[in-house]
Amino acid sequence: MARPSTAQKRLLKEFKELLNEPTEGIIAGPVCEDNLFIWNCLLVGPSGTPYEYGIFRATMKFPKDYPLSPPKMKFDTPILHPNIYKDGTVCISILHPPGDDPMMYESADERWGPLQSIEKILLSVCSMLAEPNPNSPANVDAAKLWRDNRDTFNEIVRGQVVKTLVNC
């Protein structure tokens, strides 16, 4: 039997921490015990936002050199948000590779670092849901709608929330 890699040890440690000290509104864990590199996540929409009461499914895929490189996160549940691509891929600083931003928009300390954790990623995504950054949109149409017609934006999101509850 092969010895677990550094990445596998770290992922197992983080999974145990999430089990032993759960964070309200977040559930995450490996899809199966044979592959620690793909996780299913459930995030409850933040209170006081149009995402409130929604249950959003996402997948995180970890690279073999985790935690040196960040995972990729993609919502499986349709979700309208300025910082989430139309295909569900999350665009947030904490998931960007370590080091300086070639576009000079983010500082290196905002980007991925090995001290980050799965819990911090998921908490950051929940914060992002509550407070979008329309100045760096992944979904330009969502950012424009959020800026120019918040009532319509909120109505669309609330419709998506209802669908998350029906499809649980």
**Tokens, residue 113:** 């670092």
Beta-bridged to residue 56, according to DSSP, are 43
Q: Which of 32, 41, 91, 168 is catalytic?
A: 91
91 is catalytic: yes
Question: Token pair for residue 141?
Answer: 């149409």
Q: Name the token pair of 146.
A: 């959020």
> What residue has token string 């549940």?
77
Cα separations in angstroms, 92 against 12, 35, 88, 110, 168? 24, 25, 12, 9, 26
Distance CA 71, CA 77 (A): 18
Active-site residues, by number, are 91
